Structure 1
């Protein structure tokens, strides 16, 4: 599958001494929004005019994207989620046999695959683990051979104890089991208050979309940011925290997680970095009536 051309500049932000870059894979096609968030109808989008034009198009259809966040600081290069991946058989036509220049963009941003120290998988869904591996001589091998790959024990235990359909089994065969077989996968137990995995980098439990999903909290010199994973797919969920995804495993828990997370962020200077938010991608959560809205951050720049 061909991809839409991407800009060569890398959007980036600073969080104290941490540098964060968005590594684009592909914009997701317009039909993604109505499928993923069926409650986000054009009528619902219209109630929040601030969503246009950045987060919804002229027909009030949601814009979504696939990207990773690359974090550098304390002598470490950390990649949060690895997208869809190239050349993989997928049931979703938009993801099937993708052919993007993601690795080129990652390398140009200073994260050549062999230099990555840590890969954080917020959860084990197909569009978050794809670049864990790449094809080499007819085999799927770890893309980041010198990195430790982290996911939560709860996440791993759930999927390995579940009867997987063929599409998900395929994803595990080509993108998850090869890193485990290479001895690169670490399972992390996340405490209620969060668990530090590197200086200034903490995993924060955000269950519901999947049982062991985490968000990634960054902190340095009094500044904070939070990478959402899929506890929030799109800014439309700020004014409508009960609006869930069609693939949430526990919709009620996912809604509770969103309410609690947004309450904790509202009115703070914590930078919210959406794992599927289209550009401008980052912003601050502010109260808006009995819910919330996103104010895009002014610190986004191209480097």
Structure 2
């Protein structure tokens, strides 16, 4: 699905614009969330299908998307997708990917030079790709005026001193060299850890587990709240039981504990939960129920500003 019409929500003084590059079936459901048994999907088919699960193919449906926040006079981009023309030999889906991310931004009325801050919730290949673009065979920052906020723990883990420097994993090395190192070279990268205040409405918080540096972005303005959770959630079945990790979680115990903590606060404070990869409406309000949580309502979009 391309983002041909603007999808926008307003929280107090902050406008949130959803930018969808692609959505569709990606991987078998039981591979995607291995700890969620077949019955969980079947018992919830009435609302999981077709936006989050294709039962006839047993495929989990996901979105590749970003969120643009207009806050305190600045424009903040949360996550930057896969990026075009990347060498990703370990990921058949993303190897030499060609998408229309910049076109989707443009249709939402946003140019690269409009972005003041880029937030990478974590440094996986599908969250940092459009940090850069290819100009005459060289990777350069896509957003020339932006400050890039990178979780310090992930920058170390995936950079030459940590992950790929020790393990030699090709995709991690390639990701770091084409999508992260260039913003360091231009002086646009800012490493942070713990809590980082962007402005009076937006705060980044470390939320490790999925990766060492996974983070969430909290929005609070005018009594309204949202939390952009990155890959802490991949599928709505993880809301029902936060112990269920995706197949991509590096630290399963840590990821499950973080997921429960984030969902509990979201339920207590009525934060709209905004995951990186939920298809359909893309964001949801939750409530505590038994040992897990339940879905209260999906996001509602208006015409924006």
Instruction: Provide the TM-score with structure 1 as the length reference.
Output: 0.92
What CA deviation, in whole Å up to 9, does each residue of 1:16-67 have, x standing for no partner? 1101111112225432644432234432212334323332223353211111
Aligned to 1:128: 127
* 3-state SS of paired residue (1:150): strand
- Equivalents in 2 of 1:33, 1:10: separation in Å? 30
What CA deviation, in whole Å up to 9, does each residue of 1:195-227 have, x standing for no partner? 312221101221101111101101111111001
Q: Does 1:187 align with 2:191?
A: yes
What number of residue pairs does the alignment pair up?
296
Counterparts in 2 of 1:238 and 1:298: CA distance versus 1, 3 Å: closer
Structure 2 gaps, min length 5: none
Aligned to 1:290: 291
Counterparts in 2 of 1:185 and 1:297: CA distance versus 1, 3 Å: same
- Equivalents in 2 of 1:197, 1:76: separation in Å? 10
- Equivalents in 1 of 2:172, 2:274: separation in Å? 27
Aligned to 2:73: 75
Counterparts in 2 of 1:96 and 1:301: CA distance versus 1, 3 Å: farther
Aligned to 2:136: 137
Shift of 1:246: 1.9
Note if contact 1:48-1:239 (Cα within 8 Å) is conserved in structure 2: no
Q: Does 1:52 align with 2:49?
A: yes
Aligned to 2:272: 271
Note if contact 2:29-2:53 (Cα within 8 Å) is conserved in structure 1: no
- Equivalents in 2 of 1:118, 1:171: separation in Å? 20
- Equivalents in 1 of 2:188, 2:268: separation in Å? 39
Shift of 1:267: 4.9
Shift of 1:289: 2.8
RMSD: 1.8
Q: Which runs of 4+ in 1 moved over 6 A?
A: none
Aligned to 1:97: 96
Shift of 1:119: 0.2
Aligned to 1:241: 242
| 1:143-292 to 2 correspondences below 5 Å | 143-160=142-159, 161-162=162-163, 163=166, 164-190=168-194, 194-292=195-293
Shift of 1:7: 4.1
- Equivalents in 1 of 2:24, 2:189: separation in Å? 28
* 3-state SS of paired residue (1:71): strand
Note if contact 1:207-1:254 (Cα within 8 Å) is conserved in structure 2: yes
* 3-state SS of paired residue (2:288): strand
Shift of 1:301: 3.6
- Equivalents in 2 of 1:104, 1:144: separation in Å? 14
- Equivalents in 2 of 1:54, 1:15: separation in Å? 25
Note if contact 2:228-2:276 (Cα within 8 Å) is conserved in structure 1: yes
* 3-state SS of paired residue (1:293): strand
- Equivalents in 2 of 1:89, 1:40: separation in Å? 32
Shift of 1:302: 5.6
* 3-state SS of paired residue (1:238): helix
- Equivalents in 2 of 1:92, 1:29: separation in Å? 16
Counterparts in 2 of 1:197 and 1:138: CA distance versus 1, 3 Å: same
